[in-house]
């Protein structure tokens, strides 16, 4: 709907605009009325109409002065329609210099107004598409400029980019890198991630850019100087809004910096935060910690040391377990600030065992003690002997000698049987993975590997198959089918149906109604 503001000092004219014209029939809505130019200016700022229908002669501020202010001072591209009596027509022609070429003579003739509205709609749609295209191009240019600034790839004028973004040299900014391991490689889901981030941050000014394949960067400006606690509340609100298939959304957040010149440092911080969190891959918010003791060389060393301990556990090699743990403690030190690296190593080993082997519920409880607070604390050092005893116990009690064979498809068959009975419910990857005792990331990747679809796609496929049956065999309306299949709107259901069948539900129903055996 295009918003219209009617301006006239005659109450009968205002009433005529309200009651005589069927605005909705032509794609318009009468969003407000004003009795003079000054009142109209306030409403223009408030409701942002696409069309203003205004009388010429009014008290306080007349129609021509209103047009002049809007066009020259406010620089708004609004379509104006001049309303005047025959005797005022020459006066109204002055509006030509403001590029106003739409006139209506009093008294109002409804058919003439409808003809004008139809003509205006073509211009408005053309302008809307042009503005949308311009905004899209601007987004692309801004995203490229931000990427160049933070990666120092090209010679980019920081002041020019700041001017385009409306940032000052002391504007507070933060950098966020967002990723969702469960949707890696899924184009549709990655688009959902970007759309979610566009709208998820409320009143904050944000700019999106692609930081790496399947990773979205987000530049945030908070002019009100929110402290970290306030920002955390906003970020937590974003995480709480996450729905399938973005349940494993991870946000890596930098400290605050002043102006765009701080971007390279903020980028270093989010990368450092991401590297230090690679082993846990825990969903949620990861804030940059300046005292994390991060050093890039540790990443390679921790993998080497962790893999050595993992192999020793897998083979129940007591000597190897003792040696690997001694090496781990020696490598990362006996200080509390360094124990985070040991936690990452233990988390990594636990995840690998869960991913690669059939683990019973009882064994999983034993395995879970790798991260138990008794064996890891920021306040106390990890007791070497206790850690060795635990790893030896895991090696003996966890039945890891018989890896689960992906070729037998028992994993997928069991999950699919469950989905066939529950696909109308809201199913989350995290909960489903826990139900079948798998690591969520491994679960998602293994499901895609064996079925060729993401879990989300597979659920949609089951729902659409059911929808096809309902369309052929029942008289249910589209709204009823969408609700029955747990789609939040008929429009979303229709879009998914077209993706899977290449036709609209209504077309499918007309084509196959009564055919019980159609595919």
Give the number of other Cβ atoms within 10 Å of residue 312's Cβ: 21
Burial class (CB in 10 A: 0-12, 13-18, 19+), 158: middle
Q: Are 36 and 69 in contact (CB under 8 A)?
A: no
Give the number of other Cβ atoms within 10 Å of residue 262's Cβ: 21
pLDDT at position 429:
77
Whole-angstrom CA distances from 8 to 61, 65, 80, 148 are: 11, 14, 13, 52
Q: Are 219 and 209 in contact (CB under 8 A)?
A: yes
Per-residue pLDDT for 499 more than 70?
yes
Cβ within 8 Å of residue 234, ≥6 positions away: 201, 202, 204, 226
- Enter the pTM of the model: 0.42
Rounded Cα distance, 304 and 300, in Å: 6
pLDDT at position 7:
94
Q: Which two tokens stand for residue 191?
A: 């688009």
Q: Vertex 216, ends 215 and 221: CA angle to 5°?
A: 150
Reported as a pLDDT band with limits 50, 70 and 90, residue 204 is confident
At 86-104, the pLDDT tens digits run 556 566 566 556 667 688 8
At 384-409, the pLDDT tens digits run 677 787 788 777 765 544 444 444 44
178 sits in which H/E element: strand 172-179
Map residue 136 onto helix, strand or coil. Answer: helix
β-pairing verdict for 215-221 and 205-212 = antiparallel
Reported as a pLDDT band with limits 50, 70 and 90, residue 463 is very high
Nearest Cα residue to 512 out of 480, 473, 475, 478:
473
The DSSP line for 219-271 is: EEE-TT---HHHHHHHHHHHHHT--TT-TT-EEEE---EESGGGHHHHHHHHH
Q: Which two tokens stand for residue 381?
A: 């050092």
Fold (topology level) of 157-287: Alpha-Beta Plaits (3.30.70)
pLDDT at position 52:
94
Q: Are 371 and 346 in contact (CB under 8 A)?
A: yes
β-pairing verdict for 205-212 and 250-253 = unpaired
At 261-310, the pLDDT tens digits run 888 899 888 888 887 666 555 677 788 876 544 444 455 566 677 778 87
Q: Are 142 and 206 in contact (CB under 8 A)?
A: no
> What DSSP designation does 108 have?
P
The arithmetic mean of pLDDT across residues 331-360, rounded, is 59
At 137-154, the pLDDT tens digits run 667 777 788 888 877 766
- Residue 160 CA from chain centroid, whole number: 28
Per-residue pLDDT for 338 more than 80?
no
Map residue 379 onto helix, strand or coil. Answer: coil
Q: Are 218 and 263 in contact (CB under 8 A)?
A: no
Rounded Cα distance, 99 and 336, in Å: 72
* Strand locations in 247-400 (E): 250-253, 257-258, 284-287
Rounded Cα distance, 345 and 305, in Å: 8
Q: What is the CA radius of gyration of the chain?
A: 31
**2-127 is classed in which CATH architecture?**
3-Layer(aba) Sandwich (3.40)
* Superfamily, domain 411-426+440-512: Homeodomain-like (1.10.10.60)
> Worst-scoring range by mean pLDDT, 128-132, 308-312, 504-508?
128-132
Per-residue pLDDT for 78 more than 60?
yes
* Strand locations in 254-343 (E): 257-258, 284-287
**Half-sphere exposure at residue 45, Cβ-oriented, CA atoms within 13 angstroms:** 9
Q: Are 40 and 66 in contact (CB under 8 A)?
A: yes
Nearest Cα residue to 27 out of 132, 133, 126, 122:
122
Average pLDDT over the chain reads: 75
Per-residue pLDDT for 259 more than 70?
yes
Rounded Cα distance, 31 and 35, in Å: 14
Rounded Cα distance, 67 and 100, in Å: 9
């Amino acid at each position: 709907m295009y918003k219209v503001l009617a301006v006239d000092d005659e109450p009968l004219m205002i009433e005529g605009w309200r009651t005589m014209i069927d605005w909705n029939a032509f794609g318009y809505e009468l969003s407000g009325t004003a009795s003079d130019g000054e009142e109209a200016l306030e409403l223009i700022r408030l409701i942002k109409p696409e069309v203003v229908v205004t009388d010429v002669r009014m008290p306080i501020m007349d129609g021509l002065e209103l047009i002049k202010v809007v066009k020259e001072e406010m620089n708004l591209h609004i379509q104006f329609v001049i309303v005047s009596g025959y005797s005022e027509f020459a006066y109204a022609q002055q509006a030509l210099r403001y590029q106003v070429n739409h006139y209506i003579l009093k008294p109002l003739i409804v058919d003439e107004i409808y003809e004008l509205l139809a003509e205006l709609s073509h211009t408005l749609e053309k302008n809307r598409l042009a503005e949308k295209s311009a905004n899209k191009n601007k987004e692309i240019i801004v995203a490229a400029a931000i990427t160049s600034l933070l990666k120092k790839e090209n010679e980019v004028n920081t002041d020019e980019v700041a001017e385009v973004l409306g940032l000052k040299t002391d504007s507070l900014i933060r950098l966020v890198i967002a990723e969702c391991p469960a949707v890696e490689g899924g184009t549709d889901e990655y688009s959902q991630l970007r759309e979610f981030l566009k709208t998820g941050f409320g009143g904050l000014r944000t700019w999106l850019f692609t930081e790496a394949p399947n990773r979205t960067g987000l530049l945030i400006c908070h002019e009100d100087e929110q402290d970290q606690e306030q920002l955390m509340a906003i970020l937590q609100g974003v995480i709480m809004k996450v729905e399938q298939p973005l349940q494993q959304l991870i946000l890596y957040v930098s400290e605050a910096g002043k102006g765009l010149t701080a971007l390279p440092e903020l980028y270093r911080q989010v990368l450092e935060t991401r590297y230090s969190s690679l082993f846990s891959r825990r969903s949620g918010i990861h804030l940059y910690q300046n005292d994390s003791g991060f050093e890039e060389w540790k990443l390679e060393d921790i993998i080497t040391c962790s893999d050595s301990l993992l192999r020793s556990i897998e083979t129940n090699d007591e000597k190897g377990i003792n040696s690997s743990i001694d090496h781990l403690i020696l490598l990362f030190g006996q200080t509390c600030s360094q124990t985070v690296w040991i936690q990452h190593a233990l988390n990594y080993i636990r995840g690998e065992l869960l991913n690669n082997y059939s683990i019973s519920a009882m064994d999983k409880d034993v395995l879970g003690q790798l991260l138990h607070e008794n064996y890891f604390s920021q306040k106390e050092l990890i007791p070497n002997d206790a850690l060795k005893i635990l790893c030896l116990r895991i090696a003996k009690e966890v039945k890891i000698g018989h890896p689960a064979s992906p070729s037998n498809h028992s994993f997928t068959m069991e999950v699919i049987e469950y989905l066939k009975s529950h696909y109308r419910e809201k199913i989350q990857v995290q909960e489903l993975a826990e139900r079948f005792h798998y690591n969520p990331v491994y679960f998602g990747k293994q499901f895609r590997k064996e079925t060729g679809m993401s879990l989300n796609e597979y659920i949609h496929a089951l729902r659409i198959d059911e929808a096809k049956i309902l369309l052929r065999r029942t008289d249910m309306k589209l709204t009823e089918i969408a609700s029955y299949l747990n789609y939040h709107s008929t429009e979303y259901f229709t879009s998914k149906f077209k993706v899977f069948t290449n036709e609209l539900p209504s077309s499918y129903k007309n084509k196959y109604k009564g055919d019980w055996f159609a595919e």
